[in-house]
Structure 1
Amino acid sequence: MTEREPDFSRTARKKRNRSSTILNILIGVVIVAIIITASTIFIGDNDDGQAGGKEAQTTDNNAKEMDDQSDFSSNDSTVEDDGETNEDSAEADDGNSSSDNADADESASSSDNEETTDEAAGDDESDTVTSTPSDEEFVTETVVNSAWQPVGTTQTGEHVSKYDGESVDWQEKKKALAYATGLSEDSMIFWKIKNGGGPQKSIGIVSTKDSSEKYRVHLEWIEGQGWKPVKMDKLSTLDFDY
């Protein structure tokens, strides 16, 4: 015959089962609480990170705006500086342009002067002086200068050559002799002025006062213009029949 378990054993098992259920419930509550806390912490960290990111982005945007404003101000300053620089450059260009124009005018003037000089040189070159030896023993050389011109005259009407030592014609002969030799009348001795082989031709024998230079000059009358030298002999002596 089987023995029956005591009633208290059944009661004890019920109590243990109830305790286990409560314990499991408590464990579940704790786990749920842990999960909720962990989730809250994780979500809070994300929010902080996002907020920090937003704040950092805002800070970066502000810094960028400040940089942009600084760049804008720098650009304005650059524009102003460029304006001043351009004005200075324009003034410098105007100065250089004026200087260039002055240089160009100066060059043109120099060129004109050079052309004038060249023309004068050309005229001088067209005036030739020729010197040739002479067969006469008292003449060293005979000179002809194509630049010689009539010396001018105050005489009017029909010309008559005179050798009286006082007339206008005589004085104009002396002037022509001085012109040919390049001497002044005051520094010369007029040894003789005579007819040169025709009514409108004359010959003068002259020298310096110390006789270091001696000449025989042939003159020809040009109507309305006066006496003109046509040939000059350089003399080695005055000791000859003139």
Structure 2
Amino acid sequence: MAKYQSRLDKRSKKNTNKLLNIMIAIVLLLIVVVGGTIVFGGGGDEKATTDAPKSSETKDADKSDKATKEKDDSVSMDEKDDSKDKADDKQKDEDKKKEDEQKKDESSDEDQDSVKLDGEDQSKMKVEEGTEPNVVKTMVHPNWKPIGTEQTGEHVSSYDTGSVDWNEKVKATSYATAIPESNMTIWYIEGNGGPQKSMATVTAKDTKTPYRVYLQWVDGKGWQPTKVQELKENDKD
């Protein structure tokens, strides 16, 4: 009987150990499962959060940011276009200014080639003693040229005060004597032996010195002085 009881005790102890081992295995399995759930479940939540659909507020914010960026880009483009337009306008103004200056220089060169309306260099004037009773001296300048004209077509000499032809005769007389028109008194302008020849008797207001200027018409170019005489006295006064 004691032997039989000993066998029962051994079997019971063996079953108990087996049960304990099973429970330990279950506990270990649960630990592994729970640990894995925590580790892999957290990553899944993060991914789920990342991949989750955006809320309406988030979408509105994204749209607002996009609209703001597009507006900024539009403003930037407008500023660039405005700056380009200003630069183009400035360049046009500079080009026009240069063109005007070039035309002015060309016009000035043409005037230099044609006549100096304030008189030629007097040092080049050829002067001879007068051989006529009322002539002090006779002067001829090698650089005298036609003064230019506004008249077209066949030229008809005019002695009407204020006419184009009359004014051009006065201009040529001022050019030959170097007396400004504002300082010149015109006593007489008359013909001189031909339809295209004239002569003017004038004095300077400040000196009262009388001069007689001989003029010759050049077709298409205007009146050209041929000689100037300084008179002893004004015979047209």
For the criterion TM > 0.5, the same-fold answer is yes
CA contact (8 A) 2:183 2:205 kept: no
What is the letter of the counterpart of residue 79 of structure 1? K
1:133 to 125, 144, 169: 125
Q: 1:208 to 1:65 in 2, by over 3 A?
A: same
Alignment partner, residue 231 of structure 1: 226
Alignment partner, residue 210 of structure 1: 206
Alignment partner, residue 67 of structure 2: 80
Q: 1:215 to 1:92 in 2, by over 3 A?
A: same
Gaps of 5+ in 2: 130-135
What is the letter of the counterpart of residue 147 of structure 2? W
- CA distance, structure 1, for counterparts of residue 166 and residue 93 of structure 2: 46
Kindly provide the CA deviation profile for residues 86-137 of structure 1, in whole angstroms up to 9, marking residues without a partner as x. Answer: 3223433443344344335434533442343243134223314554232425
Q: Pairwise mapping of residues 87-236 of structure 1 onto structure 2 (< 5 A)? A: 87-129=74-116, 130-131=120-121, 132-137=124-129, 142-143=140-141, 144-149=143-148, 169=159, 178-179=170-171, 180-181=173-174, 182-184=179-181, 187-188=184-185, 190=187, 198-199=193-194, 201-211=197-207, 215-220=211-216, 228-231=223-226, 233=228
Kindly provide the CA deviation profile for residues 179-237 of structure 1, in whole angstroms up to 9, marking residues without a partner as x. Answer: 222544884264x87886x44545445322331665442123579x9x934135485xx
CA contact (8 A) 1:193 1:204 kept: yes
- CA distance, structure 2, for counterparts of residue 113 and residue 151 of structure 1: 23
Gaps of 5+ in 1: 1-13, 160-167
- CA distance, structure 2, for counterparts of residue 62 and residue 52 of structure 1: 15
Q: What's the Cα RMSD here?
A: 4.4
- CA distance, structure 1, for counterparts of residue 105 and residue 198 of structure 2: 37
Kindly provide the CA deviation profile for residues 4-40 of structure 1, in whole angstroms up to 9, marking residues without a partner as x. Answer: xxxxxxxxxx52x233312211220221122011111
SS where residue 73 of structure 2 aligns?
Answer: helix
TM-score, normalization by structure 2: 0.62
Runs of 4 or more consecutive aligned structure 1 residues displaced over 6 Å after TM superposition: 192-195
Equivalent residue pairs, number: 208
SS where residue 112 of structure 2 aligns?
Answer: helix
CA contact (8 A) 1:193 1:202 kept: yes
